[in-house]
A = this chain, B = another copy of it.
């Protein structure tokens, strides 16, 4: 069995050693730049962990794990064009540093490179892994489209929002774990259960990320607090606040979320004040706990000796920033 730290180091080493310093440079330089940008490597680590949990050879899962990480970075690269985001992980985004065309085409190439890594495992595993990955990459695109739609639609509902984050974030974690288990030869029921474990965990993770974006500790969270409020993002906490607000609070919230001109710090503190009045942090904790509990129910069903699945449990607690 390997520790999370070991698996994380393994992925980082392999990504650093990746050989795409090729011609034409205009195409490959932005890819190298993107992969150097770091990131938590949650998806590849979860794939390796799942493989290790079921007694598979971690080496068989390393290329698909790199594939899922390259895919994730491709989606960020294209999302940054669509969202016109100037910064990613503290550095200029590709479309800002180069231009739109470079970002589109180097992104497309990354997507192809991702598939090229995903397929590099034992031959007999390729058809199943490809099926899971194709389905997942289509769903992630659907999630991004819903996310963009929500920017311009008036009445996004909480179930619609939850479905969006399921597609945009949770299914990739779920698929990573399923692919890892599949490489280790786990049976159908196990693969379905670990997929659901990853999906619920991914939901809890994204909802927690939304909560921390507004109510986190800037130093621990690692990015500026209030970003979602300034971007008028209709996250769970905003939608839940609208649901619970009286008419007056609704008007204030809606007006704040339509204005672009007001002082940013003032806007953040006004919105947070209403969220607090409505007890939104506790509401968000409730739904995060619900998903986390569902994830742990799936975890408990996994038919693996308890000591062999401790890595997965540790991973779940780690990404949810909880003590075990």
Contact = CB atoms under 8 A, between A and B. Distances in A.
A166 interface: no
A24 interface: yes
Interface stretch (A2-10, A123-131, A173-181, A220-228): A123-131
Interface in A29-65: none
B101 A116 contact: no
Copy total for this chain: 2
Given A24-B145, A78-B104, A119 B111 contact: no
A289 interface: no
Contacts of A292: none
Given A26-B145, A149-B24, A105 B123 contact: no
A76 to B, nearest CB: 12
B138 A113 contact: yes
Contacts of A137: 112, 115
Interface centre among A27, A109, A112, A119 (most CB of B within 10 A): A112
A135 interface: yes
A46 B152 CA distance: 44
Contacts of A26: 145, 148-149
A144 B138 CA distance: 24
Q: How large is the interface on A (under 10, 10 to 19, 20 to 34, 35 or more residues)?
A: 35 or more
A138 B119 contact: no
A26 B151 CA distance: 13
Contact of A24 (B24, B131, B135, B146): B146
Interface centre among A115, A144, A148 (most CB of B within 10 A): A115
A217 interface: no
Contact of A104 (B24, B27, B81, B131): B81
B101 A141 contact: no
A148 B112 contact: no
Nearest to A121: B127
Given A115-B134, A116-B134, A108 B141 contact: yes
B145 A78 contact: no
B134 A119 contact: yes
A290 interface: no
Given A101-B82, A126-B126, A27 B115 contact: no
A105 B145 contact: yes
A24 B142 contact: yes
A168 to B, nearest CB: 12
Nearest to A125: B127
A82 B111 contact: no
A133 to B, nearest CB: 8
Interface in A158-209: none
Contacts of A23: 142
A130 B119 contact: yes
Interface string A90-123: 0000000000110011011101110110010001
7 contacts: A105-B148, A107-B108, A109-B138, A115-B115, A116-B134, A119-B131, A126-B126
| 10 nearest CB pairs, A to B | A116-B134, A27-B145, A109-B141, A112-B137, A119-B130, A126-B127, A123-B127, A82-B101, A24-B145, A112-B138
